Amino acid sequence: MGLLSDDDKKALQEEFGKITRKINIHFFSSMESEECPLCNETKKILDEVTELSNFLNVTEYDINTDPDSKLKFNVEVVPAIILTLEDGKDLGIRWYGIPAGHEFMTLVGALIDIGTDNIDIPDWALEKIKEINKPVDIKVFVTPT
């Protein structure tokens, strides 16, 4: 039995129908269950999501057997999800932890925004961004609390 209901799958397929470019979902896990107790559930979620669109592809890496990929993508902890475009362009988007509950819709929204290349950023925010003249590390935490 899947994690997503048939109604949810249908709604997601409709939303994913807007996607026009391929997205690579890089999933970092660990075979050591004590090191990553949520990796199996995270993998199930990603598998179900990628089944809903031909534009979504997931590649799994085990940080213990593929340390080069961990370094390449600068993975800090597992489970980790990194989104890149088909050409390999790293968008700098990282998820640490399982994208379940409220966090699931954040992942879905990001996939749609990236896949449609239609990220709605207000003009005032774009002007502020243009003023940034040094590297910035932005972290966003999503939680219902």
Q: Which residue range forms the structural domain that includes residue 18?
A: 6-130
Structural domain includes residue 116: yes
Structural domain includes residue 48: yes
Structural domain includes residue 145: no
Report the predicted TM-score, pTM, of the whole model to 2 decimal places: 0.85
Residue 145, pLDDT > 70, answer no
Instruction: Note whether 83 and 110 are within 8 A (CB).
Output: yes
Structural domain includes residue 81: yes
What total of structural domains would you count in the chain?
1
CB-based burial, 86-118: b 16+ in 10 Å, e otherwise? eeeeeeeebbebbbeeebbeebbebbbebbeee
Structural domain includes residue 80: yes
Structural domain includes residue 142: no
Helix (H, G, I), strand (E, B) or coil at 19: coil
Q: What is the CATH number of the domain that holds 45?
A: 3.40.30.10
Structural domain includes residue 103: yes
pLDDT digits (tens, 9 = 90+) for 95-143: 999 998 888 988 999 999 999 987 778 999 989 989 999 998 888 776 6
